């Protein structure tokens, strides 16, 4: 009989018809096996005496059979609180008249110290649901009182550099939920020029100091020329070697940075020659973008 079973298993991949036939056939062959099991069934019946087995504590899944929404919340949003219910709820179903919620429900302090120092003692004012401790950080009014304390760097940056953003509250941008990162386009719909990628404003503008514009060294000239059209036209018309350079190669560091010729060239001429022209390179070489030697 075993051989027959193995035989059918062996052919399970052969085809649907064969499988269906196999099932029917296997059922037929299994029936006698059941009949042989009558003896063990008697012991099972004895074990089914409900008072024989030790009482085991409810498991988390069993709590979840009644407290389904809590179970689901922890499963989906519990984060590091995905531990067993009874790790926290050492006692439960023990609320009696004369007792309060806080008498029976677990305390954060059972497991946590003052996580953010003594200024933030009332854990549940911010972490309003212990079953979703991070996802429930939505009470922005309370949270807002602490932005500056916990995020010293961002607070310092936004105050240090003058900008319209410094006039706004943190949660005007970081709304809805703690940690939410806004998209610039939520408030700024106007595109710069067609050459500026509107989905990556932060490549140039730091969110907390938007006027400290920094271009990445890969910025293409067309990005600059979108706003500096005239310079770009003279620049590309030039015949000297500067014409092959990237704008950003010279105007590095930050937007508006003006380089000194000497940083790259030193002083390639004699002192007497230079002093006659006030040490000014451009008085002879002219516009650095074209380098048309002055007559
Ligand atoms: C990390 C600890 C922790 C875990 C894990 C936890 N709880 Fe809680 N639970 C609490 C705390 C703290 C409160 C009290 C909240 C309050 O005072 O608002 C609470 C409140 C409750 C309440 C009463 C308030 C309500 O929201 O209905 C029930 C019911 C409850 N928990 C069931 C469960 C069940 C079921 C599980 C497991 C599926 C579980 N808890 C897992 C900490 C926990
Ligand atoms: C057979 C259903 C059932 C099971 C299983 C169950 N509970 Fe409850 N539980 C209730 C009911 C009903 C209440 C009272 C109504 C309410 O608050 O939802 C309650 C209330 C609670 C409360 C708040 C009141 C109090 O007295 O503490 C907590 C906490 C709690 N259950 C935790 C648990 C935990 C933890 C488990 C698993 C170890 C669990 N429950 C298993 C039905 C159940
Ligand atoms: C039974 C112990 C226990 C209790 C009670 C408890 N916690 Fe926790 N909590 C933990 C453990 C364990 C972690 C995970 C710690 C780790 O990995 O560093 C944790 C992590 C957290 C986290 C980080 C969660 C994440 O996903 O990153 C927060 C927030 C938190 N707890 C808040 C609370 C608050 C608020 C309370 C009271 C309402 C509380 N806890 C009660 C055991 C507990
Ligand atoms: C003013 C609001 C506020 C209060 C009050 C508060 N927390 Fe937090 N907590 C936060 C915020 C915001 C975070 C950061 C969440 C994140 O990582 O996204 C946090 C993170 C945590 C973490 C995760 C650790 C980490 O550094 O990522 C734990 C654990 C925690 N809190 C426990 C507590 C406990 C315990 C209390 C009470 C003693 C408490 N919190 C009070 C707002 C608060
Ligand atoms: C109790 C301290 C605390 C308070 C209050 C707090 N934060 Fe946080 N915040 C944290 C911690 C801890 C992190 C996680 C830091 C990390 O991951 O490096 C965080 C992360 C963030 C992040 C980054 C989230 C991400 O995805 O990386 C933003 C944005 C943020 N907080 C904004 C705010 C704003 C705005 C406020 C005020 C409305 C605020 N926070 C209040 C502690 C706090
Ligand atoms: C919640 C709305 C909001 C968001 C999100 C926002 N801004 Fe602003 N921003 C403003 C307001 C309001 C002003 C001042 C009025 C104006 O210039 O439109 C401003 C001004 C600016 C300015 C001019 C600065 C000045 O001092 O004149 C720049 C540059 C800027 N934003 C860039 C950005 C960038 C880049 C992002 C994304 C990182 C961004 N903004 C996200 C609201 C927002
Ligand atoms: C004009 C909108 C705006 C304002 C106002 C604003 N932020 Fe942000 N913040 C952002 C954006 C956009 C990011 C995402 C930056 C990124 O992804 O590089 C961010 C990122 C953060 C981060 C994550 C870490 C980082 O630097 O990338 C923290 C923390 C933060 N902000 C805190 C604050 C605090 C605290 C305030 C108030 C003092 C504040 N923000 C004001 C738009 C803003
Ligand atoms: C390639 C770099 C770059 C990118 C990308 C970029 N900007 Fe700018 N942005 C600039 C420069 C340069 C200025 C001009 C600064 C000045 O006026 O001194 C500017 C100016 C601004 C101003 C102020 C305009 C005014 O009239 O005062 C706002 C607002 C602004 N940008 C928002 C944005 C937003 C929103 C995005 C994304 C959609 C974005 N920028 C993407 C470089 C960039
Ligand atoms: C969104 C438009 C915009 C883009 C893109 C832009 N600029 Fe500008 N740029 C301006 C404006 C507006 C000014 C004048 C602002 C002022 O006087 O402060 C300016 C001024 C300058 C100045 C002169 C600063 C001074 O002190 O006279 C230089 C140099 C400059 N930009 C170089 C560049 C370079 C290089 C790029 C590309 C990497 C670029 N800009 C991209 C708008 C832009
Ligand atoms: C070889 C280095 C170099 C390159 C490449 C270069 N510049 Fe300049 N740029 C300068 C120098 C030096 C000055 C200062 C001129 C002065 O002081 O008269 C300047 C001045 C400027 C100014 C401000 C003065 C004015 O004439 O309005 C702008 C805007 C500017 N450049 C944009 C650009 C753009 C856009 C590109 C690319 C198309 C570019 N530059 C490429 C060196 C360079
Ligand atoms: C960021 C560096 C940088 C700055 C700043 C810079 N140059 Fe140049 N310059 C170059 C490079 C690179 C070349 C090309 C060298 C080569 O290919 O041999 C060049 C070439 C030249 C040449 C030779 C042109 C030719 O076609 O033979 C002159 C003249 C010159 N620069 C003058 C100046 C003057 C004047 C200034 C200031 C107004 C200046 N440069 C600023 C990098 C710079
Ligand atoms: C008195 C006018 C004058 C002044 C001032 C002047 N140059 Fe020149 N420079 C010239 C002449 C003429 C040449 C040779 C013709 C040419 O190569 O275009 C030249 C050539 C150069 C070359 C090309 C050298 C080579 O080996 O190919 C560089 C680079 C240069 N100058 C940089 C500078 C710098 C940087 C300054 C300022 C510190 C400066 N010049 C000031 C007149 C001047």
Q: Is 232 in the pocket of ligand 10 (CB under 6 A)?
A: yes
Taking residue 76's Cβ as centre, other Cβ atoms within 10 Å add up to 11
pTM of the model: 0.85
Protein residue closest via CA to atom 16 of ligand 2: 67
Query: Residue 276 — very low, low, confident or very high, per pLDDT cuts 50/70/90?
Result: confident
CB 157 within 8 A of CB 208: yes
Integer Cα distance of 200 and 239 in angstroms: 34
pLDDT for 295: 55
Q: Is 277 in the pocket of ligand 12 (CB under 6 A)?
A: yes
Distance set, CA 199 to CA 163, 168, 185, 192 (Å): 21, 22, 8, 11
pLDDT for 58: 95
CB 121 within 8 A of CB 128: no
Burial of 276 per CB tally in 10 Å (0-12, 13-18, 19+): exposed
Determine the distance separating the centroid of ligand 1 and the alpha carbon of 89, expressed in angstroms: 7
Contacts of 286 (CB under 8 A, 6+ apart): 292, 293, 294
- Residue in 184, 165, 187, 116 with CA at minimum distance from that of residue 145: 116
**CA atoms lying within 13 Å on the CB side of residue 131:** 16
Q: Is 224 in the pocket of ligand 10 (CB under 6 A)?
A: yes
Query: Residue 292 — very low, low, confident or very high, per pLDDT cuts 50/70/90?
Result: confident
- Residue in 228, 225, 204 with CA at minimum distance from that of residue 216: 204
Among 89-103, 105-119, 145-159, 191-205, the range scoring the smallest mean pLDDT is 191-205
Q: Is the pLDDT of residue 227 over 50?
A: yes
Q: Point out the ligand 1 atom lying closest to the alpha carbon of residue 71.
A: 38
Question: Angle CA(60)–CA(61)–CA(64) in degrees, nearest 5?
Answer: 90
Integer Cα distance of 36 and 16 in angstroms: 31
Integer Cα distance of 293 and 295 in angstroms: 6
Protein residue closest via CA to atom 27 of ligand 12: 268
Ligand 2 pocket at CB < 6 A:
58, 62-63, 65-67, 85-86, 89, 92-95, 104
* Among the bound ligands, the one closest to the CA of 180: 5
Highest mean pLDDT among 8-12, 165-169, 275-279: 165-169
Determine the distance separating the centroid of ligand 6 and the alpha carbon of 107, expressed in angstroms: 42
Integer Cα distance of 1 and 195 in angstroms: 77
Q: Is the pLDDT of residue 13 over 50?
A: no
Query: Residue 98 — very low, low, confident or very high, per pLDDT cuts 50/70/90?
Result: very high
Token match 């706004």: residue?
168
pLDDT for 203: 83
Q: Is 259 in the pocket of ligand 10 (CB under 6 A)?
A: yes
Q: Is 123 in the pocket of ligand 3 (CB under 6 A)?
A: yes
Q: List the alpha helices (DSSP H) in 78-207.
A: 85-88, 101-104, 123-126, 140-144, 147-150, 152-160, 170-173
- Residue in 239, 195, 241, 235 with CA at minimum distance from that of residue 219: 195
Give the model confidence (pLDDT) of 19-47 as tens digits.
Answer: 334 333 434 334 444 444 555 555 555 56
Token match 């052969």: residue?
14
């Amino acid at each position: 009989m075993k051989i027959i079973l193995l035989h059918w298993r062996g052919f399970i991949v052969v085809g649907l018809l064969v499988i269906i036939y196999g099932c029917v056939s296997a059922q037929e062959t299994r029936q006698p096996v059941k009949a042989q099991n009558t003896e063990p069934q008697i012991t099972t019946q004895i074990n089914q005496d409900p008072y024989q087995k030790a009482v085991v504590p409810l498991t988390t899944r069993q709590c979840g059979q009644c407290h389904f929404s809590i179970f689901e919340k922890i499963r989906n949003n519990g984060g590091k609180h995905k531990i067993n219910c009874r790790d926290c709820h050492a006692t439960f179903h023990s609320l009696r008249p004369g007792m309060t919620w806080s008498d029976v429900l677990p305390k954060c302090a059972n497991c946590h110290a003052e996580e953010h120092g003594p200024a933030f003692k009332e854990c549940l004012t911010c972490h309003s649901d212990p079953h979703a401790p991070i996802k429930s950080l939505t009470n922005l009014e309370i949270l807002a009182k602490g932005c500056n304390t916990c995020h010293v760097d961002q607070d310092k940056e936004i105050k240090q550099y003058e900008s319209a953003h410094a006039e706004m509250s943190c949660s005007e941008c970081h709304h809805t939920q703690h940690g939410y990162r806004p998209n610039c386009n939520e408030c700024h719909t106007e595109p710069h020029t067609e050459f500026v990628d509107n989905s990556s404003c932060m490549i140039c503008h730091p969110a907390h100091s938007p006027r400290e514009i920094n271009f990445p060294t890969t910025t293409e000239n067309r990005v600059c020329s979108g706003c500096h059209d005239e310079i770009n036209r003279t620049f590309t018309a030039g015949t000297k070697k500067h014409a092959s350079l990237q704008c950003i190669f010279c105007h590095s560091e930050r937007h508006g940075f003006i380089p000194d010729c000497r940083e790259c060239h030193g002083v390639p001429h004699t002192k007497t020659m230079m002093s006659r022209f006030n040490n000014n390179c451009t008085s002879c070489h002219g516009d650095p973008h074209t380098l048309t030697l002055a007559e």
